[in-house]
Amino acid sequence: MELNNKKAYYEYFFEDTFTAGIVLAGTEIKSLRTGKASFNDSYCAFFKGELFVRNLHISEYAFGTYTNHEPMQERKLLLNKKELKKLEAKTKEKGYSIIPLRLFINENGLAKLEIGLGKGKKHFDKRDTIKARDVDRDVKRIYGL
């Protein structure tokens, strides 16, 4: 199971990426294993020195009972103290954001979230991205790569 945030690569330039553990409830991990999650407008923010992911939608587990989780709750991310300090210092600079890029389950069965330290693209940068993508697609179509 792996979910990618394709829109993030269109909206941001990424300088650095980190793989973080994510604190989940029992029904959340079960729902993730079935692929029921969405990155729409999700972002990461600091609160009292800890990093949380917000607006990450994990659907309610179909077979959950009264112990089911809320789909849009904040979830804590687990990183080293050194990485947290680096991210917090960078986000205080103008224009930097921490964006979730990929949600996956590793070989040990643990849910991980890949986050990126990104700077927003301007409109002309987005046009360049579209142009490069179109050229690559045309080259692959012509040469059969």
CB-CB contact of 54 with 44 (8 Å) = yes
Residue 52: what pLDDT? 93
Domains of the chain, CATH where assigned: 2-143 (2.40.280.10)
Per-residue pLDDT of the chain (145 residues; tens, 9 = 90+): 788 888 888 888 888 899 999 998 888 888 888 888 888 888 898 999 899 999 888 888 777 777 777 778 888 999 999 999 998 888 888 888 899 999 999 899 888 999 999 888 888 888 888 899 999 999 999 987 6
Largest CA distance in the chain: 56
Cα gap 75→36, rounded to integer Å? 16
This prediction has a pTM of 0.80
Radius of gyration of the chain (CA): 17
**AA identity, residue 136:** D
Please report, for residues 27, 68, 72, 73, the alpha-carbon distance to residue 62 in angstroms, rounded to integers and kept in the order given. Answer: 9, 9, 16, 18
pLDDT of residue 114: 93
Q: Report the alpha-carbon distance of residue 65 to residue 105 in Å, rounded.
A: 24
- What pLDDT sits at residue 136? 92
Q: 116 with 91: CB under 8 angstroms?
A: no
Predicted pLDDT at 58: 83
